[in-house]
């Protein structure tokens, strides 16, 4: 068995590499205000069905009753938190980790 991933030998990966890295940016001077690694909300802050998603990322959904265990899901900023088919608006959401929607990331923005 080879010690490398066969897809990584493909010329497509070589063609997509950047010729040079971006110039260094002083801390706090770049376009990205945060690292998307930590939740911006407090660990106890929860959101209800029908509220606007303030920040795209991975959220934990906690359902009322015992019909489903807590689970993670992806929510996109400016969407609404959805109701559960079983417990309706009794579901709560907690931001686990922020993550940008790919088309709002500066490296993947749709052309205008």
pLDDT tens per residue, range 8-67: 444 443 444 444 455 554 544 455 444 544 544 555 799 999 999 999 999 999 999 989
Domain-located, residue 25: no
Instruction: Give me the pLDDT at residue 45, please.
Output: 94
> How many CB atoms neighbour CB 91 within 10 A?
21
Q: Per the confidence metrics, is the pTM higher than 0.75?
A: no
103 falls in which pLDDT band (50, 70, 90)? confident
Q: Quote the domain boundaries for residue 100.
A: 34-112
pLDDT at position 46: 97
Number of domains into which the chain is organized: 1
Please give the Cα distance from 44 to 95 (Å, whole number).
Answer: 9
Predicted local confidence at residue 24, as pLDDT: 54
List phi, psi (to 5°) of 12: -60, -35
Within 8-76, strands assigned E span 47-48, 57-62, 71-75
Is there a domain that residue 57 lies in?
yes
Q: Is the pLDDT at 68 greater than 80, yes or no?
A: yes
pLDDT at 38: 52
Is 65 a domain residue? yes
Task: Report which of residues 38 and 77 the model is more confident about.
Answer: 77
Let me know if residue 13 belongs to a domain.
no
97 is a domain residue: yes
In a domain, 82, yes or no: yes
Nearest to 60 by CA among 46, 50, 78: 46
Confidence label for 112 from pLDDT (cuts 50, 70 and 90)? confident
Residue 63 counted as domain residue:
yes
Whether 7 maps to a domain, the answer reads no
């Amino acid at each position: 068995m080879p010690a490398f991933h066969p897809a990584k030998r493909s010329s497509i990966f070589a063609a997509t590499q950047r010729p040079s890295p971006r110039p260094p940016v002083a801390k706090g001077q770049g376009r990205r205000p945060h690292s998307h690694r930590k939740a911006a909300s407090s660990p106890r802050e929860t959101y209800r069905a029908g509220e606007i998603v303030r920040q795209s990322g991975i959220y934990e959904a906690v359902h009322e009753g015992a019909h489903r265990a807590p689970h993670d899901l992806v929510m996109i900023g400016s969407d609404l938190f959805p109701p559960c088919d079983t417990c309706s608006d009794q579901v709560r959401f907690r931001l686990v980790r922020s993550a940008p929607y790919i088309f709002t990331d500066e490296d993947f923005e749709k052309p205008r």
